Structures are given as C-alpha cells and as structure tokens.
Chain A
Amino acid sequence: MSELKDCPPLKYYDFKPVDHVKVCPRYTAVLSRSEDDGIGIEELDTLQLELETLLSSASRRLRALEEQRQILTDWQDKKGDKRFLKLGKDPDLAASSRHSKPKKQKLDGKGSHGPGPGPGRPKSKNIQTKVQEFEFEVDPQDIPRNPKNDAPNRFWASVEPYCADITNEEIRVLEELLKPPEDEAEYYKIPALGKHYSQRWAQEDLLEEQREGARANDKKKSMIGPLSELDAKDVDALLKKSESQHEPPEDGCPFGPLTQRLLQALVEENIISPMEDSPIPDIPGKDDGAGTSPRSQGKAFSVPHTRSLEARIREELVSQGLLDSDERQGVGGESEDEVLAELQKRQAELKALTAHNRSRKQELLKLARDEMRKQELRQRVRVADNEVMEAFRRIMAARQKKRTPTKKEKDQAWKALKERESILKLLDG
C-alpha cells in the first residue's frame, strides 16, 4: 500500500476487442470472401454500420491508451508536486473517463445548452471527484514511507568501499608501498663498538681530575679549554701506558690468551712468570716451540709457533671437554656479545619481516592488476550485453511487424552474441 504513492493514477483498462463475428457479421462474411466476389451494393449500408462500430471502439481504445501514456509520462516527469496540481491534466482525465465510462455519466443530467458550456460542466464535476480521490490516496501513505527506506541505502553505502572497482590510484599506492624504504639500511648497521666504557670513564675521570687541578691552580675558566684538550691527549697516552702496564703480556707476550691463562692458572706467583718448566713437561711432546718460553727472551719470538701452541692447547682442552668450542670474541666481549647477539637477532627478525611484507605487497599488487584487467573485460561484457539486447529488440520489433528479420539484423545479432561469448571466455580463462 505504501507503494501507491509511487504509482501514478493509472487505470488498467481491459480492452475487450469488438467481437467481429457477433457484432459485425456482414463484415466478417465479406472478409471471408475471396477478392473476386465483390461486395453487393445492398451490403454497403450494413457494412457501413459495422465499420462505424469498429471505428468507434478503436478510437475509444486509442483515447484511453493515449491518456494512460500521458499520465505515465507526466507523472514520470514531475515527481514532485503531483496530483494537487494536476488540475491541468484533469480535463483530459475527465474527458477520457467520460469516454471510457459512459454508463457512469448521466448524459441527461448534463443540461448543456450547447456544445460549448457542455464540456465545461462535467469537467468541473470530475475534477472535484478526482482531486478527492487522490487526496485520500496520498495522505495515509506519506507518513510511514520515510523511515522505512533508509536502512538498505545505508547498508549499501557502507558496503560500497569493499565492492567498488579497483582504480589506478590504488595500484599506484601499492606500488609506492613496495618501494624499499630508504632508512632500512640503517637498521642493519652494527655500530662500531667504540671505546669501551671503562676506558671512556677512566678517560673522563682523568679529565675531570685534571680540570679540577687546573681550576684549583688557575681559577680561570678560559684556560681550562685548551688545557683540558692538551690533557686529553696526555690522558690518552697515560691511559694507554697504564693499560699496557696492567696487561703487559698482551703487548709483550706473543702467546695466545689460552696459553697465558693456562700458565697463569698453573703458576702460583706472578714473580715466577718466566719459570714454565713444571707445566711444560706435561706437554713437551706436542710442543716444538717450547723453546719459545720467555726464558729465552733474547730470542726473537716466532709468532707462528705461538699460534700453533695456542691452537694445540685449545684443541687439547676442547677434547678434554674443559673448554667449549664456541667462539669468544674477547674477555670483555661477553656482555657485548649479548647486546650484539640481541641486535643481530633483531636484525634478522626485521629482515624476515620486511621480506614477508614485501612478498605480500607484491602479491596484492599482482592481484590488483589482475582484477583491473578483469574489470576491463567485464566492462566489455556489459557493452556486448547491451549490443545483444539491442539486436534482440530489433528482431522482436521486426517480428511484431510480421516481417522476418532481415539478414543484416540476423548478422548483427550473431556478431553481437559471438563477441560476447569470446569476451566471456577471456574472462574465465
């Protein structure tokens, strides 16, 4: 019922065609004769009457159709203020409703004094009834309509972004995303270790002391600057010296760290450092370069021997199970190892992740490109559909006119069909 408002006031006439056999017998008889038998003059009158009957029913039909078509056109054109302003059309409606419903009108009741005012009177009467009719139709339907139709529109609007066609812009966005980011390289850099913090702190502490000393002496801040710089260099030299003092074997001793550790562990006192007689007999057989003990300090140390000694000691220790065969970066490198290990772990993760992301983006891009191609094809299918429909309509029109469709039309139809099929095949394949 709410759709009544959408509907123009159409009357769906049931046009009963004039039954020729019953109403126009002479006409039917004449028609069934062949061309050779003529029509007798005496038959003219009856024929005339019958033809007039047919003509009048046909024109009534014509008027009704015209009126309905006009209603449809007018209603489609002006959707807004409908029927209340349709008084201009009402004369048509009134006139034709007169035509189509003669029994309802009392022709006697018109009381026209001539053809002029005659049509005027019934028109006004009909306008009244028509307007009233429409008023009753329109009002109750207006109100429930408004909230009802909103939901589907909102739903479709919300779904729209997901179902819409892919545009070139979106592909461009994807391509941009795929471009390798410039700052990726940074993440993979393993920064240099830089100065060990103990050295740095030592340096800083020394600097501080120097500064304080200088301040104590001079109390001139401006002199601290160059002094401190100078001191920094001195401090470095100092620190290096102190380092070398603290770990003399590193500089002075060519022996590998393992060797030194071993010896240190075996030696009770540092004083007896050169005496390596006691441990060495344990491993004399392996050691060719035993003679490289610091006893013979005068001898130049042959570095390869120390290296092989170191390697052999390590091997032995590993085979004894005393030493793990894993790498050691350095004494103080344990902590750094962790950080470095962590850093490396993270870097590996980042690499894996970025690789994964890239592969997914590329996949997406490929899919998008494929979809675009399919869209194009679909568009072509739509065009081909329209062509097929056109051809169909043309053939139907030809058939309606009772003539067979021309070869041209048939060819067009076939061509359109084949085109459409080929595009569909492309689409599927």
Chain B
Amino acid sequence: MQTPKSQSSSPYYRTKLRGLYTTAKADAEAECGILRRALDKIAEIKSLLEERRIAARMAGVYSDTDPPRKTMRRGVLMTLLQQSAMTLPLWIGKPGESPPPLCGAIPASSDYVAKQGDKVAARVKAVDGDEQWILAEVVSYNHSTNKYEVDDIDEEGKERHTLSRRRIIPLPQWKANPETDPEALFSKDQLVLALYPQTTCFYRALIHTPPHRPQDDYSVLFEDTSYADGYSPPLNVAQRYVVACKENKKK
C-alpha cells in the first residue's frame, strides 16, 4: 500500500483521484437511475395487474366458481403468498435517504390509511370467541366510522370483516436492505407477529436472526407451548409477513 499512498500525497494525484471519483460517482448515479426506472416500470406493470385482479375479483364474487377455487387454492395460495413475499420491492434509498414508513420494521405513520388491495394483519374474532391475527386484504376504509373492511385472503367467500383501525396492522410495502439500511430490520429477540409457514395466521414470535441479504428471510422462534422451552425451532418467515407486535402478553 506504500505506493498508492505516496502517490496520493502529491496534489496532482489527489486531484486526479478526485476527478476519477467524481466520474465514477456520476456513472454509478446514472446506473442507479436507470435501474430505478426499470424497477418502477415493473412496479407499474404489477400494480396494473393487481388492479385487474381486484376488478376481476369484485366481479368474480358473484360468480359461482368459488367452491372449486377454495379447495384448489391451498397450494396455489401458498405459492402466491411466497411469490408476493419475494417480489416485495426492495427499498434502496439514495445516499442520505432514510427508509420510509412501511419499509421493513419501520411502522406506518399514525395517520396512515391502508389502501384498497393492501395486505394487512387483522385481528378478528372467530366464531368461538378466539381472537386471531389473520392475513387479510383491505377492501375499503370508511372515513366516517374509521373502520376498515377487510377480506381474509384465504377464503374470499367468507364475510367481510369490519374492523377498527386498532385491529389492523398494515404489512410492510418494501423490503429493507440489510446491506444499506439495517436499522429498518427487526433485531434479535424482538417480539413480533409472524405468519406461520403454510398458514395464513400470524402468531407471536421472537426474532432469531434477521436477514443478511435482501432476499433472505427472518429466522424466528414462534411461541409454542408444545415445545419444551416454549419456543419452536427457528423457522423462516419472509420480511413481508413480520410485523411488530404491540400486544401485551397473551390474552
């Protein structure tokens, strides 16, 4: 390292280095710009698809293809969930930008209203009085009553739940990049609500390890009384399905 350092001590090389850095920076910025545009385009396409799906679903509620769909949908549903988790856009901020709300572990702003089609964790009261957090999709929001109408993504045929805002936790809309914004991730031993794999319900869990790379999942320990130490072995849950748990200890 002696030579590069001694070289860099002369003003000529310093200026040259600075010029090179500036050029490289400009190139990197250009590259980022183009990539962002491409990603935006993809997001656009996806939103269009989503809209179409919602519109189709609206229309399809009244069709009688429900039952076959119900049974068939399990595997498909899981795949869909997985895909949705994977393709959650990754937040890559420009230098100096901090991650926005609903990126990773960053909670939504207090006056945030979930839009139609947003996925949320909804605390619903089952028929037997049991409360459960389920994965649901927002249908609408009633400003006057401050209540959401949500649909369980699993069984669309079921009734719509109308829930107050307190029972709705919007799921993150961006993945946090562990390499650039580690502060937007949950850290070890944090209490969260995580979607149990192969189900559509959220349960309390402790973070075991946060993801290392953008595509990685959280490794969590679910609270499970059937295990000796009260926790399940580490299970992987995508970033999309991990939200902060505000609940106090068990109902």
Q: Which residues in A have some Cβ–Cβ distance to B below 8 Å?
A: 1, 3-4, 6-8, 10, 12, 41, 44-45, 47-49, 51-56, 58-63, 65-66, 68-69, 72-73, 76, 98-99, 102, 105, 107-108, 110-112, 115, 118-119, 400
Residue of A nearest to B211 (CB): A107
Say yes or no: is B178 at the interface (Cβ < 8 Å to chain A): yes
Query: Which residues does chain B contribute within 8 Å of A98, judged by CB atoms?
Result: 182
Q: Closest residue to B107 on the A side, CB-wise?
A: A114
**What is the CA–CA distance of A8 and B16 in the complex, to the nearest angstrom?**
14
Interface class of chain A by DSSP: helix
- Contact flag A107-B180 (CB < 8 Å), given A45-B86, A59-B32, A68-B21: no
Interface size class of B (residues with CB under 8 A): 35 or more
Return A122 CB to nearest CB of chain B, in Å. Answer: 9
CB contact between A52 and one of B1, B22, B212, B214 (< 8 Å): that residue: B214
CA distance A293 to B93 in the complex (A): 141
The answer on a CB contact under 8 Å between B28 and A61 is yes
Asked whether B184 lies within 8 Å of A65 as measured between CB atoms, the reply is no
CA distance A41 to B48 in the complex (A): 12
Q: Is the CB of A45 within 8 A of B209?
A: no
10 A-B pairs with CB atoms under 8 Å apart are: A7-B6, A7-B9, A51-B42, A58-B35, A69-B25, A72-B17, A107-B178, A107-B185, A112-B183, A118-B182
Q: Does B198 contact A (CB under 8 A)?
A: no
Choice from A62, A72, A107 contacting B29 with Cβ under 8 Å: A62
Q: Looking at the complex, which one of A7, A48, A54, A115 makes contact with B99 (CB distance below 8 Å)?
A: A115
- Kindly provide the distance from the CB of B43 to the nearest chain A CB, expressed in whole angstroms: 8
Decide: A65 and B210 in contact? CB cutoff 8 A.
no
In Å, the complex CA distance between A400 and B27 comes to 11
CA of A111 to CA of B188, assembled, Å: 7
Give Cα distance in the complex from A58 to B27, angstroms.
Answer: 10
Question: Contact between B25 and A66 (Cβ–Cβ < 8 Å)?
Answer: yes
Interface pair B28/A52, CB less than 8 Å apart: no
Contact indicator B95/A62 (Cβ below 8 Å): yes
Whether A69 contacts B18 in the complex (CB less than 8 A), given A48-B87, A115-B98, comes out as: yes
With both beta carbons as reference points, the residue of chain A lying nearest to B10 in the complex is identified as A6
User: For A60, what are the chain B residues with a Cβ–Cβ distance below 8 Å?
Assistant: 179-180
Which residues of chain A have C-beta atoms less than 8 A from B93's C-beta?
Answer: 59
Which B residues contact A (CB, under 8 angstroms)?
1-2, 4-6, 8-9, 14, 17-18, 21-25, 28-29, 31-32, 35-36, 38-39, 42, 45-46, 49, 83, 86-87, 89-90, 92-95, 98-99, 105-106, 177-180, 182-185, 187-188, 209-210, 212, 214-215
Interface centre among A65, A73, A112 (most CB of B within 10 A): A65
Contact of A56 among B25, B90, B185 (CB under 8 A): B90
Are B95 and A56 neighbours in the complex by a CB distance under 8 Å? no
CB of A392 to closest CB in B, whole Å:
14
Q: Is the CB of A56 within 8 A of B187?
A: no
Chain A residues with CB under 8 Å of B14's CB are 72, 76
Known: A55-B35, A59-B32, A102-B212. 10 other contacts (CB 8 A): A7-B6, A7-B9, A59-B94, A62-B29, A63-B180, A102-B178, A107-B185, A110-B187, A112-B187, A115-B105
Contact in complex: B39, A53 (CB < 8 Å) = no
Once A48-B89, A59-B32, A66-B25 are accepted as A-B contacts, the answer to whether A99 and B42 lie under 8 Å apart by CB is no
Contact (Cβ within 8 A) A44 B46: yes
Give the docked Cα–Cα distance between A107 and B216 (Å). 14
A65 contacts across to B, CB distance below 8 A: 21, 24-25, 28
Given known contacts A45-B87, A48-B87, A72 and B18 CB-to-CB distance under 8 angstroms: yes
